Amino acid sequence: MAEITTKEENGENTVVRLEHVSYRYPRTKNYVLHDVCIDIHQGEFIAVMGENGAGKTTFLSCLNSIIPNYYLGHMQGNVKVYGMDTKEHVVSEFSRKVGMVLEDPESQLFTTYVRNEVAFSAENMQVEPDEIRSRIDWALSIVGLTSYKDRETTALSGGQKQRLAIAANLAMKPDMLVLDEPTSQLDPIGTREVFDVIRRLRNEEKMTVVIATHKSEEIAEFADKVLVFSKGHVVAFDEPRKIFQDEELMKLCHIRPPQVSALVNYMNMKNAEIHRLPILLKEAGGEIEEWYSGGRKDG
Amino acid sequence: MNYVDKDSFMHRLDPRVKVIVLVFFTVIVFLITRPVLIVIMFLSFLSVWTIVERLPSAGLIKTAKFVAGLMGFIILLQAIFYTGNTYILGPVPKDVWLIGGMGIKWEGIAFGLLLAVRLMALIVLMPMVLMTTPIHLFSLGLIRMGLPYKIAYMTTTSMNLVPTFESELGVIMDAQKMRGMTIFEEKGKRFRKMKAWVVLVVPLVIGAMRRAQMMGMAMDARAFGAFKTRTCIDSIRMRWSDWLTLILCLAYGAALVVLNWILR
């Protein structure tokens, strides 16, 4: 598996470097991460995929030192995030660089009002109140919750809660945002809302984003690279198009390709001969049209 | 007993005043021994709840019902074990094994009743403070009073979790009902109901532990504890009305203690 991992030795804009990281949780025998070597660069959008239990959450937990600081267990290798070794610094030190959004919207909100929730992290970092107020306005405008500033957090929908969790992390002005299946408990509308926010972070704020998700359509649209885990091993780390083209990999890791890719794959199976596999709906329109008009000419 | 979002006298009061008065009255309730004064105290708290603050009483009634069983038990225990000789029932002849000499005594019932009223007074007072103080101002008040912010947050965050656990318990109960659990709808069968609680409490406790861990993680990830102190976007200020309220409450408590001494 080792040759699949990317190792660009430029170091310049590398923000995360995992060197031969293996990890097992306390009181367990089996490693959930095996010899993971990954570099993540500034401004990259990385999607982490793999079936449940493949090691996605464990990997993400390494990125802001929740592993090894929060969960004990046994870790081999080194994780360097913005030059800091996760073994030598505590979680709150990484929070200045890395924001983290968890899967469950409920357990990451702990104040009564939206504005206090956003202010919480900045207050912890001893930011001046006036600066915090402007950060609240900025963060809430990015996630589209400006008009909810004085609402109670309990009154928000699931999608709004996740957007608030993102805003609450943005108030720290982190350089990187890590999201652990932020939409798995949301309905399609909530999912769309959250991904719209992520798109803005990527396009307007140029933020480094690492997200674990099963939503192939969104990954196809946003991600620079897809990191695929299977049973704790990194089995692929490449552009989404290459990943979704690899049918065997999809099957092996129980990953659902985008629906348009699945459709074209099916058509190819029926001898349609579409050579460029589309991963986005807009691409598929062109490819299928071309094939259809070509097919008609032959016929 | 969640925070009630509205504008009232107690809502505007500085959280520090509320905390001090709460602690002060909790001590006073147990210092006072004259029944009439304890009842007066209870009624004064209750009237603040209903007349001055007009807070919803549904939660209060629910809590009172819940506590009634506990109080009955307290009164019974006191009736049997409190010293006194005005027997209502008994005493059992001395030569009976184990329960010889025991009986229900009036002094015990009176003492138990007083204890119950004391408890009721606190049950009115405490939620009144929680229902009129947003959590973030409550913790800010504690911090301004010199409590380290980690401890202040530990206290207030756990208070914040109570309604969450209530709703979670509701979910677990519904799930059990959907699988055919009918014991809570049936009348009587107290012992079987107590046993049935096990299947509700176990998932609740496990869920609570998991949630507490996740929450701690999320707080750490948002720089909680990175520095010794933290800034705050909210500010609290003691105004003259706060000082006046504090002085009046302290005077009221002191007057009760003096009256208690006179009436002894």
Q: What is the DSSP string of B169-209?
A: HHHHHHHHHHTT--TTTSSS-HHHHHHHHHHHHHHHHHHHH
Determine which helix (DSSP H) or strand (DSSP E) holds B156, and give its type and residue range: helix B149-178
Mean pLDDT, residues B49-75: 81
Sheet with A45-49, side-by-side order of all strands: A98-101, A176-180, A208-212, A45-49, A225-230, A233-238
Q: Which of B214, B216, B226 is facing A124, going by the closest CB pair? A: B226
The answer to whether B43 faces chain A, any CB pair under 8 Å, is no
The alpha carbon of residue B176 and the mean position of all alpha carbons in its chain are separated, in whole angstroms, by 29
The angle, 0 to 180 degrees and rounded to 10, between the axes of the packed helices B135-144 and B149-178 is 150
Whether A108 contacts B218, CB under 8 Å = yes
The answer to whether B166 faces chain A, any CB pair under 8 Å, is no
Chain B residues in contact with A162 (beta carbon < 8 A):
none
The answer to whether B165 faces chain A, any CB pair under 8 Å, is no
Determine which helix (DSSP H) or strand (DSSP E) holds A211, and give its type and residue range: strand A208-212
Partners of residue A291 on adjacent β-strands: none
Residue count (chain A): 299
- Residue A187 pLDDT: 86
Under 8 Å CB pairs connecting chains A and B tally to 105
Whole-Å CA distances, A256 to A213, A219, A278, B210 = 11, 11, 15, 30
Which amino acid type is present at position A145? Answer: L
Determine which helix (DSSP H) or strand (DSSP E) holds A39, and give its type and residue range: strand A33-41
User: β-strand A74-81 against A84-85: which pairing, if any?
Assistant: antiparallel
Cβ separation A123–B219 shorter than 8 A: no
Nearest 5°: CA angle at B125, between B120 and B129?
150
Chain A residues in contact with B219 (beta carbon < 8 A):
110
Chain B residues in contact with A124 (beta carbon < 8 A):
222-227, 230
Determine which helix (DSSP H) or strand (DSSP E) holds A81, and give its type and residue range: strand A74-81
Chain A residues in contact with B235 (beta carbon < 8 A):
129
Cβ separation B231–A115 shorter than 8 A: no
Chain A residues in contact with B227 (beta carbon < 8 A):
124-126
Residue B108 C-alpha, separation from nearest chain A C-alpha, in angstroms:
45
- Hey, what are A248's tokens? 């065997």
Cβ separation A116–B233 shorter than 8 A: yes
Cβ separation B136–A129 shorter than 8 A: no
* Model pTM score: 0.81
Residue A10 has pLDDT above 70, yes or no: no
Cβ separation A91–B229 shorter than 8 A: no
Mean pLDDT of chain A: 87
Q: How far apart are CA A6 and CA A224, in angstroms?
A: 14
Residue B189 has a CB neighbour count (10 Å cut-off) of 12
- Hey, what are A278's tokens? 């589309």
Cβ separation A92–B234 shorter than 8 A: no
Residue A117 has pLDDT above 90, yes or no: yes
Nearest 5°: CA angle at B131, between B45 and B141?
100
Phi, psi of A100 (to 5 degrees): -135, 125
Cβ separation B220–A70 shorter than 8 A: yes
The more confident residue out of A14 and B56 is A14
Chain B residues in contact with A110 (beta carbon < 8 A):
157, 160, 215, 218-219
Please report, rounded to a whole number, the percentage of residues in chain A having pLDDT higher than 70. Answer: 94
Cβ separation A121–B229 shorter than 8 A: no
Give residue A299's pLDDT band: very low, low, confident or very high (50, 70, 90): very low
> DSSP characters for B19-56?
HHHHHHHHHHHHH---HHHHHHHHHHHHHIIIIIS---
Q: Which of A91, A106, A124 is facing B230, going by the closest CB pair? A: A124
First vs last C-alpha separation in chain A: 46
pLDDT per position as a tens digit, A146-201: 999 999 888 898 889 999 999 999 999 899 999 999 988 888 888 888 888 888 88
The DSSP 8-state label assigned to residue A111 in this structure reads: S
Give the least confident one: A11-25, A277-291, B139-153, B225-239: A277-291
Burial class (CB in 10 A: 0-12, 13-18, 19+), B248: exposed
Give the least confident one: A76-85, B5-14, B62-71, B129-138: B62-71
Q: How far apart are CA B43 and CA B17, in angstroms?
A: 21
Residue B211 C-alpha, separation from nearest chain A C-alpha, in angstroms:
6
Q: Could you tell me the maximum CA-CA distance found in chain B, to the nearest angstrom? A: 71
Q: Is the dihedral of CA A116, A158, A49, A198 positive or negative?
A: negative
Residue A211 has pLDDT above 90, yes or no: yes
Whether A167 contacts A200, CB under 8 Å = no
Q: How far apart are CA B124 and CA B41, in angstroms?
A: 11
Cα dihedral value A87, B208, B224, A22, nearest 10 = 20
First vs last C-alpha separation in chain B: 37
Mean pLDDT, residues A273-293: 82
Residue B104 has a CB neighbour count (10 Å cut-off) of 15
Residue A295 C-alpha, separation from nearest chain B C-alpha, in angstroms:
56
Interface test with B, best of A95, A123, A179 (most B CBs within 10 A): A123
Mean pLDDT, residues B150-173: 84
Which amino acid type is present at position A197? Answer: V
- Complex confidence, ipTM: 0.81
Residue B152 C-alpha, separation from nearest chain A C-alpha, in angstroms:
13
Give residue B248's pLDDT band: very low, low, confident or very high (50, 70, 90): very high
Q: How far apart are CA B33 and CA B114, in angstroms?
A: 8
Residue A113, classed as helix, strand or coil, is: strand
Cα dihedral value B175, A184, B162, B190, nearest 10 = 10
- Hey, what are B112's tokens? 């138990």
Mean pLDDT of chain B: 85
pLDDT per position as a tens digit, A221-252: 889 999 999 999 999 999 998 898 888 888 88
- Residue A6 pLDDT: 42
Whether A194 contacts A159, CB under 8 Å = yes
Residue A216, classed as helix, strand or coil, is: helix
Cβ separation A99–B221 shorter than 8 A: yes
